[in-house]
Amino acid sequence: MKIMLLLGSSRKKGNSEQLAQDVLKDVPHTEVFLHDKTINQIIDKRHTASGFTRVDDDYEELLKQFLAHDIIIFATPLYWFGMSGQMKTFFDRWSQYLRDERFDLKAKLAEKKAYLIITGNKPDPKVSALPLIMQFHAIFQYVDMTFVDYLIGTGNKPGEVSTDSEAFQKTRLWNERFRSV
Amino acid sequence: MKIMLLLGSSRKKGNSEQLAQDVLKDVPHTEVFLHDKTINQIIDKRHTASGFTRVDDDYEELLKQFLAHDIIIFATPLYWFGMSGQMKTFFDRWSQYLRDERFDLKAKLAEKKAYLIITGNKPDPKVSALPLIMQFHAIFQYVDMTFVDYLIGTGNKPGEVSTDSEAFQKTRLWNERFRSV
Amino acid sequence: MKIMLLLGSSRKKGNSEQLAQDVLKDVPHTEVFLHDKTINQIIDKRHTASGFTRVDDDYEELLKQFLAHDIIIFATPLYWFGMSGQMKTFFDRWSQYLRDERFDLKAKLAEKKAYLIITGNKPDPKVSALPLIMQFHAIFQYVDMTFVDYLIGTGNKPGEVSTDSEAFQKTRLWNERFRSV
Amino acid sequence: MKIMLLLGSSRKKGNSEQLAQDVLKDVPHTEVFLHDKTINQIIDKRHTASGFTRVDDDYEELLKQFLAHDIIIFATPLYWFGMSGQMKTFFDRWSQYLRDERFDLKAKLAEKKAYLIITGNKPDPKVSALPLIMQFHAIFQYVDMTFVDYLIGTGNKPGEVSTDSEAFQKTRLWNERFRSV
């Protein structure tokens, strides 16, 4: 089982990254910071006769890498009560590749297991992140991906999440599981 | 009262645009297609000593234009059970300008009235768009913007929303209101 | 197509009833005020060897009546951000009858079409009723009942909902549909 | 700090009770099984000239007992994607007492801290319980009660929740906290 960590934050060393590192301590995995990639917004050509056109950015390479893993850990801070724009764009671009015959995207997505890490601050993310969890649930359900579990951490300034004992308790539980995968 | 239509779709002549045009028939307004603008993803420097740095794209000009209006109609298709990446990025960038002394962003946002148009197809957007409506509600509440009303239209291919009689009934109600603003 | 109106309010002549009457103007239908019935809370005996025991109240008769209709309009005020206790108890008791061989409850529920009317006041029910709509959606999905549409009205004192022009616009649309059923 | 456990299940020895007992191991507390009480559905007389009338059941005594505690742990199974009818009725009746001058209900509720335990089975309660958590959040926010935390356990048959290691990890965390209250 190959594990990929997909980081949606627009800053390094933030709280969602910190929780993810704890989850993956001593666990072999691939790590991608979406922010390090050039990923354009989707141009919807589903209803254009010529269909989608090739986009010259880092997305296709990233998608191939993504599809080579079995377990995906999505980690995003709660930005404006949703996932980061970086991560939203990652999902939006699926719409193009679902129609690309070179990829059997829908079938491949259905084989994957998803974990979700969200960090936020005020108002309490344990409540304010719930619509986002519902959105991820709907996304995963739509493509038949298994949504195993989610973890909500509280923190604003870098490092602050360390004081969220419950979040760290859960990272340890996940870590045990991932070590024995 | 100056009205702005902010279109989040990544294609022209789509269903959310069609509903918005109906809402604003014979109503003077400014129209912005986010897709026509170059808007970079945010780089979060809230916790960097030097703070945010100037970004060279179309956002600042757009934000000034946005702030010059009293009523904002946000129109977005439901992409992966959320607003489009284009529109999400629009909100994410607020985080930089909330800390920019040249703008009194929070105070100005609190004076605005927001309307929301969402279009989707399957599963039924009347239910699947609800987490997104909650997200918009949370955003508007956070900045004290008045969330007047929302409208959910059903349609996939361009023009399909025309068959959604309820949505069009509501556009007429909004249109009457905007004509007398 | 036989239509039943199931009223969950604990007072007569309230706003949810008023909207429902407008929806069903000149439409033959059966009307039940849950409040007029004696319906006990469920006693869960799913995991008791002897199973559920017969309950001596009005529920079984009501359930038979309910099952004799094709379209059900559920109307409830938003009490504490949920359906009324009266209506919740109506659903809870399904758990007993799903295990009662005399009824083929699950199969029969799957044939029905559901409409939902919710009325509330402050905070704005257009947002605060959304978790309840999600709950109804989940209930209907669980039993394969078709959730056709919902309608949210705003009003507190009896009659106040009359000023909600959008709600009344929608009642007329539904009314046209039900007249031609 | 006096602690009350309010159990909403309609069966004894169920999973929500089991989690609650683990949370309160060796912690002095008052325990009330709503199912053991006679609590009538509310009769809404907010807009009746004469106002609410005295109801002859166990509610008023229970409410007094409730108000004598500082921390309330609400424990309910997920029945039809909501709290049990028993617990819903408990909240509905607040509407009468908010208008009863003998009680200073709103002010007193604002002093309390709430914890929430929900147990469910299929579909996965970690997602299907979210609208209910939003409802509790809205209730507590409406009366200014502090919603400290929630815990979702998975299990159907009595005892099944024991296999939910994450839920039990969290009960231990809460237990430590309550021991030192």
CATH code of the domain containing D152:
3.40.50.360
| Over residues A136-141, mean pLDDT | 98
Q: Please check the confidence at residue A25 and state whether its pLDDT lies above 90.
A: yes
What is the per-residue pLDDT for D34? 96
C126 touches chain B (CB under 8 A): yes
Q: Residues 19 to 48 of C: which have CB under 8 A from any D CB?
A: 35, 41-48
Mean of the pLDDT values across residues B64-74? 98
Reading the block at residue B114, the tokens are 């927001």
Closest CA to D21 of D75, D96, D77: D75
pLDDT score of A172 more than 90: yes
Note the pLDDT tens digit of each residue in A57-74: 999 999 999 999 999 999
Task: State yes or no: pLDDT of D46 exceeds 80.
Answer: no
Q: Decide if A88 and B82 are in contact by the 8 Å CB cutoff.
A: yes
pLDDT recorded at residue D151 = 96
Of B42, B47, B80, the CB nearest to A157: B47
The answer to whether D22 and D165 are in contact (CB under 8 A) is no
User: What's the pLDDT tens digit per position in B125-175?
Assistant: 999 999 999 999 999 999 999 999 999 999 878 788 888 888 988 999 999
Rounded mean pLDDT, B54-63? 93
Question: What per-residue confidence (pLDDT) applies to B141?
Answer: 97
Q: What is the pLDDT of residue D91?
A: 98
ipTM metric: 0.95
The confidence score (pLDDT) of residue D21 equals: 95
Q: In this predicted model, what pLDDT tens digit does every residue of D147-170 receive, in sequence order? A: 999 999 998 787 888 888 889 889
% chain D with pLDDT above 90: 78
B50 close contact with C: CB closer than 8 A: no
Q: Could you tell me the two tokens for B64?
A: 């000034």
The number of folded domains in chain A is 1
> How confident is the model over C33-43, as pLDDT tens digits?
999 999 999 88
pLDDT on residue A181: 80
Q: How many CB atoms lie within 10 A of CB C174?
A: 22
Provide the pLDDT for residue C136.
98
Residues 62-81 of C with CB under 8 A from D: 77, 79-81
Query: Looking at the predicted structure, is the pLDDT value of residue A48 above 80?
Result: no
Which pLDDT score, from 0 to 100, does residue D48 have? 77
What's the pLDDT band for A50 if we cut at 50, 70, 90? Answer: confident
Give pLDDT < 70 ranges for chain C: none
Q: Residues 90..109 of B with a Cβ closer than 8 Å to A: which?
A: 91-92, 94-95
pLDDT tens string D66-97:
999 999 999 999 999 999 999 999 999 999 99
Task: Give C130→chain B minimum CA distance, Å.
Answer: 7
Containing C59, the helix (H) or strand (E) segment is helix C59-67
pLDDT at residue B47, as a whole number: 76
Which chains form contacts with chain B, at 3 or more CB pairs under 8 Å? A, C
pLDDT beyond 80 at B7: yes
- Cβ–Cβ of D127/A149 closer than 8 Å? no
pLDDT digits (tens, 9 = 90+) for A146-171: 999 999 999 878 788 888 888 988 99
- pLDDT per position as a tens digit, A73-131: 999 999 999 999 999 999 999 999 999 999 999 999 999 999 999 999 989 999 999 99
Q: Which residue out of D7, D36, D38, D44 would a mutagenesis test of the C interface target, given it has the greatest number of C Cβ atoms within 10 Å? A: D44
- The secondary element (H helix, E strand) that includes residue C68 is none
pLDDT for position A166: 86
Chain C contact for D86 (CB, 8 A cutoff): yes
Decide if A122 contacts A89 (C-beta within 8 A).
Answer: no
Amino acid at position C19, single letter = L
Tell which wins on pLDDT, D156 or A8: A8
Give the C-alpha separation, B25 to D132, whole Å.
40
- Report the pLDDT value the prediction gives residue A103, as an integer from 0 to 100: 92
The beta-carbon neighbor of A133 closest among D127, D137, D150 is D127
pLDDT in tens, D5-38: 999 998 888 899 999 999 999 999 999 999 999 9
pLDDT score for A102: 92
Residue A110 in contact with partner chain D when CB distance is under 8 A: no
The span from the CA of C80 to the CA of D166, in Å, is: 30
How high is the pLDDT of residue A115? Answer: 98
Q: What is the mean pLDDT of the segment spanning B99-111?
A: 94
Q: How far is CA D48 from the centre of its chain?
A: 29
List the single residue in B with minimal CA-CA distance to C169.
B169
Contact C84, C76 (CB under 8 A): yes
Residue B49 has pLDDT above 80, yes or no: no
Q: Where are the alpha helices (DSSP H) in D24-164?
A: 59-67, 85-92, 94-97, 105-109, 125-128, 130-142
The whole-number pLDDT of residue B160 equals: 83
D128: three-class secondary structure by DSSP: helix
Global pTM reads: 0.96
Nearest in space to B31 (alpha carbons), one of B59, B1, B57, B8? B8
B149 contacts C127? CB cut-off 8 A: no
Write down the pLDDT at residue C49.
76
Q: Kindly state the tokens that stand for D119.
A: 């147990």
Instruction: Name the closest residue on chain C to residue D77, using Cα atoms.
Output: C44
Mean pLDDT on A23-46: 93
Would you state the structure tokens that stand for residue A93, as one six-digit string?
């671009």
Range of the domain at B34: 3-179
